[in-house]
A and B are shown apart, each in its own frame.
Chain A
Amino acid sequence: MTTTQSTATPTTQKLGIATATAVIFLVLSGLIFSAEDVVQGSTVRMMYVHVPSIWVAYLAFGLTALCSAVYVSNRSRSLIWDRFAGASAEIGVLFVAISLVTGSLWGRLTWGTFWVWDARLTSTAFLFITYIGYLAVRRLGGTFSQRARRSAIMALLAVLEIPLVHFSVNLWRTLHQKASIADPNAKVQLDGFMLFTLFWGLISFSMLFAWLLIHRQRLMALEDAVQDQGLDRAIQERRTEAGR
């Protein structure tokens, strides 16, 4: 007998449609409605992907740490927290990669170089590598609870890098500019529609993150169930052999 299981529900389908609509409007807003920057020209449009990408990465790694903390502190040790942590980290890695690539292209056009070893770029690259390591640690084998325990500890340590990445532009002299909006001491320094488009990017990328997270977590639950079924089948085979 074959059964078909989907990770979609009517709610996630609605979220998916809303996300797609938001992203389409972001593309239109970023490429057509918003004006060029007086110094950077059209290059400034990279900001509408670059900034929301790193925002989603921070959000994802923060959620990974939160779910890991819940898993560790909760007596029930429910694996759903571990799966949410893992799914969130995978999406976070994807968005850090997008942020690094778009940042590098933006850097080539404005700074005149793809890469410099300054504090912001280096710490972001280090963050990316750390979470690649986290994902590898999740696949080292063992039982589900062993996986959950060791990756929870790593997630709780790795999240400490985020303040270092974000405040690196204030802690060191860097080529990377300081924050335009996510700085408690800074005035907002984006003209009208640019600011709106950037905020729209943050909202639509956050919706995309939520949609991806729900689906990936459900897929992980199915993967775990398949692994469990394999074990059950093996035990059943042995029982049958023993009964002969």
Chain B
Amino acid sequence: MDLTPRPIADAESRAQKQRRRWAPMIIVALALVAGGVVVSQFLTSAIDYYCNVDEVGVRDGCVGQRRIRVQGIVVENSLKQTSGVSEFSLVFNDKTLRVRYQGDPGGVFQECIPVVAHGRVVDGVFDSDRIEVKHTNQYVEKNKTRFEATKETAACSQLPG
């Protein structure tokens, strides 16, 4: 019995078979490229040191005027918003840092909430061009009876102590 592969008669089905064979290889190649892009983006973003407020000017990588990310909690009653500029203080381990941000921080930004500010220290003030709100892993039901009283200080009421 002749078992040699039979030539595919029509050109269209031959092209279809070719496409079917190449498609997974292309997807594997794209997955490799995408994986590389993801890792390189992560490493590029990691160039900006991630510092707590108490490490600014102290820890290696958090000193000088280099671009860093600073993590801390927005101090209660420190937020001032005038002519498109938001100013507030961040606290971490009893150390505070004044932050100046051009614009209105997004998300659920408010006092007493942990945030990450991107930027650099200029004359003792952290000049930020990006604010990210870092909400905690605590989830507290909004109680309608106590809500009105705590509306403005919702995050502050969750702080320990």
Contact = CB atoms under 8 A, between A and B. Distances in A.
Interface of A: 34-41, 43-44, 47, 108-113, 116-119, 122, 125-126, 129-130, 132-133, 135-141, 172-173, 175, 177-180, 186, 189-194, 238-239, 241-242
Interface residues of B, number: 49
Given A38-B158, A110-B107, A130-B35, 19 more contacts: A37-B139, A37-B141, A38-B141, A38-B147, A39-B135, A44-B139, A117-B42, A117-B44, A118-B45, A126-B38, A129-B38, A130-B31, A141-B24, A173-B50, A175-B116, A178-B137, A191-B141, A194-B139, A238-B3
Contacts of B44: 117
Contact of A40 (B41, B108, B147): B108
Contacts of B34: 129, 132
Nearest to A107: B107
A43 to B, nearest CB: 7
Contact of B137 (A38, A130, A132, A180): A180
A38 B138 CA distance: 10
Interface of B: 1-3, 21, 23-25, 27-28, 31-32, 34-35, 38-39, 41-42, 44-46, 50, 71, 105-110, 113, 116, 131-143, 147, 150, 154-155, 157-158
A227 to B, nearest CB: 12
B158 A136 contact: no
A110 B114 CA distance: 12
A109 B107 contact: yes
Nearest to A140: B24
Nearest to A134: B31
B39 to A, nearest CB: 7
Nearest to A173: B50
A35 B113 CA distance: 20
A119 B42 contact: yes
A66 B158 CA distance: 42
Contacts of B108: 39-41, 43, 109-110
Contacts of B109: 112
B1 A242 contact: yes
A110 B110 CA distance: 11
Contact of B28 (A41, A126, A137, A141): A137
